[in-house]
Each structure stands twice: as C-alpha cells, then as structure tokens.
Homo-oligomer: A and B are copies of this chain.
Amino acid sequence: MAKTLRVGLAQINTTVGDFEGNVRKVLEYVERARDLGVDIVSFPELTVTGYPPEDLLLRAGFVKDNVDALNATVEGCRGITAVVGFVDRDKETHGPISGPDVSGVSIYNAAAVIHDGRLAHVYHKQRLPNYGVFDEARYFEPDQQFPVYIVAGVAVGVNICEDIWYPGYPVETQARAGARVIVNINGSPYHAGKRRFREDMLADRARAYDVYVCYTNQVGGQDELVFDGGSMVLSPSGELIARAAMFEEELLVVDLPVEGGRRKEEGGKGVERFVLSHAPFLPNKLAIEPRIAPELEDEAEVYAALVLGTRDYLHKTGFRKALIALSGGIDSSLVAAIAVDALGAENVYGVSMPSRYSSEGSIKDAKELGENLGIEFRIIRIEPAHAAFEEMLALAFEATQPGVAEENIQARIRGNVVLSLSNKFGWIVLTTGNKSELATGYATLAGDLVGGFAVIRDVPKTLVYKLSRYRNTLGERPVIPQAVLTKPPSAELRPGQLDQDTLPPYDMLDGILQAYVENDRSVQEIAEMGYDYATVARVAQMVDRNEYKRRQAPPGVKITPKAFGRDRRLPMASRYKAW
C-alpha cells in the first residue's frame, strides 16, 4: 500500500544577521504549512542566520545568538516536522578552527530536524564548497553521518546544498539506508541558465538513487548575490512534479505517493535511524494538486534577478530612494527602469548633467525616459564647475595636449554632484556601468564609477540592449526611447567621441570577454575561436590592467557564472601576460 507524504518547501527571503525577523518568518510559514496538513516543511540553508553570513561566523556572540534563535524556532514548531538551517557548534572548545591566530570552537553548516516542538536531530553538511563565491572551508568543519528520519511512516534523508551536487555520499548512502525521500536545503546563488542545470542534476540524483528529491532554495538578494528560489520536487523517475516561482517567496506543497513496503536498509558507518512519527498529525486530508511554476524566458529571468537584487540590497541596507545620473544612453536608461520596477517610480530620482559636449539629443532622451518612467527629473548643467577646473588646472596643465585628463574631469564633476545629492537627501546613487566597461576599464574612477550599488556591473553591453528591448515590451508603450536603442554609444566627453573609437565593436568585445573572464581561456584559444589575435591580446591586456579600478567599484548583482569580485580573485600587481 502506498503512503502519502505531504512535503512543504518554504522558499523564503531571509536577511543576514536578522535573527528576530528570520525566526518570525519561519514560524509564519510553519503555521501555514501545518494548516495545510504538511508532514515535513523545509527551509533554506542557514535559515536562522541568513546566507552567507561570512566572517560574522568568526564571532562567538553571533554563533551564540544563532543558537538562541534556533531554540526559539524549535519551541514554535509544534504539530509538524521542520527542517531549519542554522550554525551548530561543538560544546567544548577544542583548539583553533581557523588558523594559528584564531581560537574557537568547531562550527558546522547544519540542519535542525525539529519534530513537534523538540529538536530531534542535527545534520551537518558534508561537502563544503570553497570555489567561486564560496568560502565555506574558511568557517565550517565537514562531518560524515548518514541519518534517516521516519516521518509519518516514510523514511526521509536530509542534506544540505552541495551534498546533493555530486553522485555518491551522502545521498547514495542515505538512499541505501532506506530513504525514499531526500530533503535538500539550499542557498544556491543565481546565474543565467543555472536553473536548468540544477533541474537536470537533481533529476540525475533522483533516478540514480530511486528517491523523491525535494529541493528548497532561498530567494532574495544578499550583497552581490541573488538567490532565485525555483524550489522543486522530482520523482524517483526524474520527472519534475512541482516547481515554485523564481524570485518570489512561496510555500510549495506537494503530496508524494511513496510506494509501500520497507526498502532494504543497508547499515554502515554513520548510518542511523530516527523514528519521529509513524503517521501524519493530520490524517485523511484532501489531495493537493502540485503546481509547476512556468519557466521564464532568458531576458525575463535576468531582468527579474536584477530587480530583486537591487530591491533587496537597498532595503536590507536601509535605503528606500535612489538617484540615477541619466546620460540619455542605454545603460542609465536600463538602470532607471530596473530601479522603478524595484522601488516604485516615486522613489527614483533622475538627474541629467549635460556638459558643453553633450548633444541636445542626449538631454532630450534622458528627459523623455524620465517622463515615461514617471520619475522626478532634474537638469544640472556642469559648465560652471567645468570652467572652474580648467582655470584651477591651467598652470599645471600648461603646454600639455588635451586628453583623457580633461575628459575625466567632467565625469568626476558629475560624480561629485550625485554624491552631494546623496549626502543631502539620503538617496543611494545607482551606478550605471556595464560589465564590458568594467572589464576594459572604460569608466572613470570617482566619476561614473561612483555610487552605492552598480546594478548592471555584471551585464555585458550586448545583454544591456536585449534587456532594454525586453523591458520595452512590458507595459502599454516602450519606456526607453527608440533613439536610445539605435544611436551609437558615446561617453560625450569630447566632440564626436564614440565608444568604438576605443573599444572593439561590442558584439566582438563581449564574445572575447566571456571567453577570457568567465571561461579563463587563453588568448591563443580565444583567437582560435575565430577572433583576431591582436584584438584579443589588446582586450586581455585592458582586462588585466584594470583590476585596480574594479576593486574600487561599488557592488552589483551577479548574473553570470563568473562576476568580477569574489568570484574572480586576481592580483593587481602581476606581470603575468596571457598574450
């Protein structure tokens, strides 16, 4: 006879360090799940602390507060089984956990298995990612136990994130020990296309070990990372039977028909069984039809990631209102549209700061965009300061040829204006540079690079165009003026200047950058992909030389497999020549 296990996947948006808020949210979702007769509800990785807490983990007080918050959660979880992420610690100090100078206790990335108001067991993560944006070996000890929990008569294995990413232990061990359902809790950061990769990987695990896989992912932005949710349940045949939305909180509830008959149970080191309940708290409930949230198209997915990442960074750091320098170009237009979608038009301010070299078209395009978006818009001409700097620097610059110094002065005057407005009114400045510019250093330090959050710093220029066209398909009429989409890109810092005077055409540049930056290909290999060797070498050199500039750029949303920042840690002082 088949048994039915009702699982709930609580895809919530936590905030790092907000123990009170995180616990409150967990208890709300526990109540909703219990009301729906859910047998076991799971929350994302490190639910209680928020993820990733980084070096807060090195503070004994932070770890203690997290344990207190977990205890408050345990007491609130009655009439249900709940899987809640937290930081576990060894009771006794036993030497340094992080090198010769720091002493402390061992800590674990853990899942509390709570049953009816008591802590039934604690599972410790086994595979600790220490690549890309992840530094988990810096903090956590790995463990090796393979517990199986009997929940409402069904054998369930719990594990955490990377634990399911590879074939083999612990999933295989838990399945061999009799688990019919694997509950995996996650904090898996977004990049474009990763959802499909995850779905395929989880289907492989489900099929290989003949188990249901219930994958609960976090949702929300945390500094440069966006967690996209998209929690899902796969059947033992690898079929997707339920999926939550991306970029939204959701409680996904699914009935799993688990075939009767106990499975053969292999023992082994670390294998242990915990009987929590032989029957549901709420028997004989009505069946629930599983929901499969529709997939998002490519541009819609990235756009939603940028909106959520921007909203959460601002709200979680205490900002409600944002200011954007509108040049009339496509980058600032897209950033303004994202800001309006993230914060509401009433919380977004645009400022156009024309210089003597700005075209009338640019001012008009900026104004029109502001009107289309319904944001407050102001023009501040920078000529007075521009002339003043010329006067102040006349003697020092005597007998030199005008060049990049004279151009950058204008960008920095604008930087000063927007930061002054920010200081005065408490608006955060949204920086508008894209990934192609940041890669090549085509940006001015203390100029267009300044601000609090660089919304599209991981978006290549060619994708900026695609996202802008996508945004124009939403709503009744296009918000980004047609001229912005068609005119050739220009910084307008000298008469007749065009981006393509300095950079290769953007479709070529972005192809080279993807290979060099995201895929770590050599110049030779990229040339063999069909690009001109000299162009590739020039681009690689620009990328390498501008590491120092990127270090001083504001943070922004990661949307590619490898963003600049902690995803890609390169020395500034390096004589390595890839070309």
Residues of A near any B CB (own CB < 8 A) = 15-19, 21, 50, 52-56, 58-62, 65, 98-102, 129-132, 134-135, 137-138, 165-166, 201, 221-223, 312-313, 316-317, 378, 380-382, 384-385, 387-389, 391-393, 396-397, 400, 403-405, 408-409, 412-413, 415-417, 419-421, 423-424, 445-446, 450, 452, 520, 522, 524, 548, 551-555, 561, 566, 568-578
Contacts and interface: CB of A to CB of B under 8 A. Distances in A.
Given A388-B387, A393-B420, A573-B312, A61 B137 contact: no
B570 A54 contact: yes
Contacts of A522: 59-61
A539 to B, nearest CB: 16
Contacts of A423: 403-405, 408
A99 B392 contact: no
A59 B516 CA distance: 10
Contact of A421 (B131, B396, B419, B548): B396
Nearest to A429: B445
A573 to B, nearest CB: 4
Nearest to A424: B405
A426 to B, nearest CB: 10
B387 A400 contact: no
Given A99-B129, A393-B380, A396-B380, A573 B222 contact: yes
A446 B450 CA distance: 7
Number of copies: 2
A420 B416 contact: no
A217 to B, nearest CB: 15
B380 A392 contact: yes
Nearest to A102: B131
Most buried by B among A419, A522, A553: A419
Contact of A412 (B52, B391, B419): B419
B391 A384 contact: yes
Most buried by B among A18, A131, A313, A409: A131
Contacts of A450: 445-446, 552
Given A415-B412, A415-B446, A223 B571 contact: yes
A62 B576 contact: yes
A409 B416 contact: yes
Nearest to A548: B452
Nearest to A391: B384
A382 B313 CA distance: 36
B392 A573 contact: no
A15 B382 contact: no
B419 A400 contact: no
Contact of A446 (B129, B446, B576): B446
A50 to B, nearest CB: 8
A522 to B, nearest CB: 4
Contacts of A137: 130, 137
A578 B63 CA distance: 12
A575 B384 contact: no
B392 A419 contact: no
Contacts of A419: 408, 412, 445-446
B165 A572 contact: no
Contact of A392 (B382, B396, B404): B382
Contacts of A388: 384-385, 387-388
A400 B420 CA distance: 13
Contact of A520 (B15, B59, B568): B59
B132 A135 contact: no
Contacts of A417: 389, 392-393
Given A15-B573, A99-B129, 20 more contacts: A16-B573, A16-B576, A17-B576, A56-B576, A60-B520, A61-B522, A98-B132, A131-B138, A135-B138, A378-B396, A396-B421, A404-B423, A405-B424, A409-B420, A413-B416, A416-B416, A450-B552, A548-B555, A551-B554, A552-B554
B18 A416 contact: no
A575 B446 contact: no
Nearest to A400: B424
Contacts of A222: 571, 573
A393 to B, nearest CB: 6
B223 A572 contact: yes
Contacts of A387: 388
Given A16-B571, A384-B392, A570-B56, A412 B416 contact: yes
Contact of A569 (B55, B62, B412, B553): B55
Contacts of A396: 378, 380, 421, 424
Given A387-B388, A391-B384, A420 B405 contact: yes
Contacts of A421: 393, 396, 405
Contacts of A569: 54-55, 135, 138, 566
Contact of A572 (B201, B317, B445, B576): B317
Given A573-B316, A573-B317, A446 B18 contact: no
A322 to B, nearest CB: 14
A223 to B, nearest CB: 5
A420 B446 contact: no
A54 B101 contact: no
Contacts of A520: 58-60
Nearest to A389: B385
Nearest to A393: B420
